[in-house]
Structure 1
Amino acid sequence: KLSAYVEASGLSDIKIFERAIWKETAELSFSDSGGRQSTLLTGQRHIVQAVDIDTLLEDERVTYIKMDVEGAEMEALKGGKEQIKRNKPKLFIAAYHHDADIFLLPLFMWQLVPEYKVYLRKHPYVPAWELNFLAAV
């Protein structure tokens, strides 16, 4: 659906990659339930190709990264650390999947780009737990 929308809208500056984002290039195993109940597994059920942001985008200049990757935010940020250090993109990162994320994610963002100003944003709609970090220089 996203690919069709981008093509129909003439948004030629948007690139779509059908990959999971992770801390490194890997094959990840998920449950086959699909939807909101899909989970990362150690066993094999449904294999998904994953790539880190640094490898995927190489020398591209990234200005904005939005990420809600169901608890893999820290791993995905680690896989984009060179891109983030180099380009200092605005970040919009889910903050609510793990209790420690509310502390660990902004600390990691500041480790990469000390000048980031990090804000916590609560969406005004359901679900009530939807909290996100916005980081910008």
Structure 2
Amino acid sequence: MKPTSISKIFLFAGLSNILGVLIFSKFFTNDVMMEAQPMVMGHFGLVAFILWGLAYITVRQNYALVPWLLAVFVVEKLVYVLVWLNWLYSNSLGSLYEQDLFAGLFFSIYGINDLLFGLFFGFVFFKVRKSPFLVNRD
């Protein structure tokens, strides 16, 4: 994969976090979404999503210089996927859709989105760690 493609995917990952939160939370007013999983999707959690998105965008040009930050991104995405699976196991998407279409859509896709970007971050991490051009600054 070309560095320009990788950079674009980092940008896309960041924008999907930022715009996804803003759109699906209706600019932090979607009480159904926030009450469905308040520890993760409350105001604080949604701001954290946006901050993670900004972090992805920030490293998009220099990702090769921060391989261990990429590993952190992988772990972060894994945590969100596990939290999402746990939520799906003990809640009903159908009842969420009945209450609010945006909340239902968000809970239908956020874990899949995190899984795909987590795999991407993992791929880039391993690609960068194998690079002979990476200077070890330990």
From the two aligned structures, give the one with the greater helix fraction.
Answer: 2
- With the shorter chain as reference, the TM-score category is under 0.3
Normalised by the size of structure 1, how large is the TM-score? 0.25
From the two aligned structures, give the one with the greater strand fraction.
Answer: 1
